[in-house]
């Protein structure tokens, strides 16, 4: 595959949602976005033609993971159901199929992705396809393919088609030589997992393509993301999801990290909101292409103590898993997200108390709806 030396030309326009209009900023420079020459039409021609110019056409890869479906729901409310396409290589549930467009897409298949982007008039690409930290260490070859080869495919296609592309990074992009309390946006990283290495590679490649060719690349370093509606997916911070399910099902949880292991965490609602706000932020506001975002930091012992205020019978034991503990010990205990707060107004809503209360309420409701016992 040969990538043409195309430069995305800036032009005035529009993807600015209602909640950002009229927001006062200190930045005086004009708003800038990128546009491209018209794309070939395909099977979605009528829908593309009817799409308003201030509504992006969004493709989400890896859409059946922890984050994709929730983000799609928010974007569909904002831009229209037909303008947000979920994709994955897994079979979707009936609910996903009824919620909006879904297509099979393998990020390793460049030709198929190219057809999908062109035929559907895609203008924004959210790239969630990745193997997470613990799973990646168990299958390095597959993680290298998905996390690096897949990344290059979507970056090349974004550049070729002048897309706005969002690629999340992670707490795992830092390593044992990084500043830990807090970790700033710009510092030594040197991760020791294939997941972290691939994420640093993604950050740098995206920034390179932005500076050399004008690619509208955007990246947020997520902390551990906690959600009641998705199952743990092989990440090192997944204990902070499982402990809530265990508290309400058996009242017992065995944690694979030491009780004093402190890590940055975030409620999924804050994560989605940060992503949407960042994608909509004018380019003139952004001093960086990759930002930390932060909400809270806690240890397994601290979250267990907060849960016990609602579920007093919870019993937690600790059996440290050497691989996950090594990974966690190499990560920051807090993020410095002052640049995100200054540049585009990021601020979280949920702290530990609100997170625990919301998670327990949501999981109780979900278990009751499914006819399952609640401890």
User: Contact at 8 Å (CB) between 222 and 206?
Assistant: no
Burial grade of 268 (CB within 10 A; 0-12, 13-18, 19 or more): buried
Q: Which of 306, 171, 175, 315 is nearest to 255 (CA)?
A: 315
User: Contact at 8 Å (CB) between 290 and 278?
Assistant: no
Give me the active site residues, please.
195
The tokens of 302 are what? Answer: 């601290």
Chain centroid to CA 143: 17
Q: Which of 119, 124, 115, 49 is nearest to 84 (CA)?
A: 124
Rounded distance, CA 207 to CA 194, Å? Answer: 20
Rounded distance, CA 375 to CA 307, Å? Answer: 13
- Cα four-point dihedral sign 223, 61, 215, 38: negative
Rounded distance, CA 50 to CA 102, Å? Answer: 20
Rounded distance, CA 343 to CA 167, Å? Answer: 19
């Amino acid at each position: 595959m040969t990538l043409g030396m195309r430069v995305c030309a800036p032009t005035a326009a529009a993807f600015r949602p209602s909640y950002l209009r009229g927001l006062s900023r200190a930045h005086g420079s004009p708003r800038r976005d990128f546009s491209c020459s018209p794309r070939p039409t395909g099977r979605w021609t009528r829908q593309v033609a009817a799409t308003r110019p201030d509504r992006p056409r969004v493709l989400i890869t890896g859409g059946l993971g922890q984050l994709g479906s929730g983000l799609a729901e928010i974007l569909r409310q904002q831009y229209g159901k037909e303008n947000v396409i979920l994709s994955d290589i897994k079979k979707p549930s009936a609910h996903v199929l009824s919620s909006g467009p879904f297509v099979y897409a393998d990020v390793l298949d460049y030709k198929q992705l190219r057809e999908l982007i062109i035929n559907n008039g895609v203008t924004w690409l959210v790239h969630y396809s990745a193997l997470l930290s613990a799973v990646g260490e168990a299958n390095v070859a597959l993680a290298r393919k998905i996390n690096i080869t897949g990344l290059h495919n979507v970056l090349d296609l974004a550049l070729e088609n002048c897309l706005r592309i969002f690629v999340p990074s992670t707490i795992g992009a830092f390593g044992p030589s990084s500043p830990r309390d807090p970790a700033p946006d710009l510092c030594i990283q040197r991760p020791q997992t294939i997941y972290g290495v691939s994420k640093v590679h993604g950050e740098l490649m995206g920034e390179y393509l932005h500076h050399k060719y004008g690619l509208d690349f955007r990246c947020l370093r997520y902390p551990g993301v906690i959600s009641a509606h998705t199952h743990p997916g092989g990440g090192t911070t997944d204990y902070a999801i499982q402990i809530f399910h265990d508290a309400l099902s058996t009242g017992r949880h065995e944690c694979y990290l030491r009780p004093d292991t402190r890590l940055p965490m975030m409620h999924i609602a804050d994560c989605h909101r940060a992503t949407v706000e960042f994608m909509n932020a004018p380019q003139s506001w952004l001093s960086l292409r990759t930002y930390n975002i932060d909400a809270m930091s806690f240890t397994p012992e601290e979250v267990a103590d907060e849960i016990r205020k609602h579920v007093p019978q919870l019993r937690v034991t600790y059996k440290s898993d050497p691989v996950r503990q090594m990974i966690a010990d190499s990560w920051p205990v807090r993020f410095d997200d002052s640049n995100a707060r200054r540049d585009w107004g990021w601020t979280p809503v949920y702290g530990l108390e609100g997170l625990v209360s919301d998670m327990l309420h949501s999981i109780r409701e979900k278990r009751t709806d499914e006819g399952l016992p609640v401890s």
